[in-house]
Amino acid sequence: MKRLRLDGLTALPGQVWGAVRLVPLVRERPFDSLLRLHPQIYEIAPAAVRLNRPTVHQSYIPHGIVAQWSEGDPYVKTVGTRLTDPRRPAAAEVRGKPRAERRTVRRPSGNRLRFLPLHLSMEGYLSLHFGGPSMAWDEWSRLGLDEGPPPQVETAYPGKAVTGLGDALRVFEIHPEQCGMLIFVADALAGAFAVPHPEDYRLLHPTLVEDLYGELIWQYALFHGDVPDFGVRLREDEVHTVADLRAAVTAAVEEWGRFQLGTMAEGLLGADYRFDEVYAMGPYRLWRFQPRFEPRRETHIGEAITDEEGRLAYLHTFRLSEKQIRRGRLFDELADHDGRLEETAAAMGIDVTHLIARIDRAGFGHLLRQDVLDHHRARLRR
């Protein structure tokens, strides 16, 4: 996978509810029955995944996704599950010790793979350049040289906390051939979601209110007013028959879809990503991706499944906040220059004192020697 493309997916006119705009994605040619996705509900919501010793990734996991595929049998069917259980306690009422999982991607049996939505991409972001510098530079502490940056802690909000999202998902209709959704909040792209088949989407549609959304999206939904609905105007002088009207409406819908996928989703589809193959699933590949972090630029991380032709079967994205982007860029620059502070500062267009201040503000000042840290803190105050 080299580029993120939505080939085979077409955007239909969006629907507006307050600050939320939902743009349906339909497939011209669904993946039939060779690859199917369905949700898996966990009885105990809190869970911990062991990444390596002694690192454990802990998160609230309301549901997982099970991929089932076939390399030739055209009769693989989606496995339905109940999305709610009246006997199950609400998320806020869950108590007890978290369940331990061995990994975020597991193969339960045969041609089935279970993975946790958005946790693949978030795991990749949280463990950026975990190894630390390969050379024992004088400025780094023993902890920074031996272990590198510690695991990060990030805050995300469930869809239920994003004002208006739950109502919009409940009220608006699902199109017959719908296989995905672009979610905009205050006309900022909050996330993209796509699955192989319309039946899969109907099962997974309610899980969008349990997915993770960044702090930026939560703030936009809380403080932004209603977004305008787009209207379509047809030229009366060009419409003389029913066929003319049908052709004009079709052209307007196509133009509207191109605008939503082209202009409104440019921040997602126009970026250069680094793709990591997570799992091979017969003729399919499970990937996670993240871009080159650039401040003040819309930035998404996510995961995808593609077939042998590179056609996108599954997509799930998460939009980072500006603070998360700056932290990602900081780690990228340090890794690119192998922890050499002078070269890293020069590449970022700042001096070493301000670079160390950024490392300190990001919560990783303890990776530097205490005397170095104290010296530059005093210099910054002066």
352-378 pLDDT, tens digit per residue, is: 999 989 888 887 787 788 888 888 888
- % of residues, the chain, pLDDT over 70: 76
Give this prediction's pTM.
0.78
Q: CB of 30 within 8 A of CB of 198?
A: yes
Tokens matching residue 221:
């939904």
155 or 103: whose pLDDT is higher?
Answer: 155
Q: Which residue reads 């975990």 in tokens?
A: 130
Dihedral of the alpha carbons of 317, 320, 326, 329, in degrees to the nearest 10: 0
Q: Are strands 99-101 and 46-52 parallel, antiparallel or unpaired?
A: parallel
pLDDT of residue 88: 38
3-state secondary structure of 289: strand
3-state secondary structure of 22: strand
3-state secondary structure of 142: helix
Tokens matching residue 139:
């400025």
Residue pLDDT, tens place only, 266-308: 999 988 999 999 888 888 888 999 988 888 889 999 999 998 8
Q: CB of 272 within 8 A of CB of 101?
A: no
Question: Would the pLDDT of 137 be above 80?
Answer: no
For the chain, domain boundaries: 9-322, 340-381
Strand partners, 318: 301
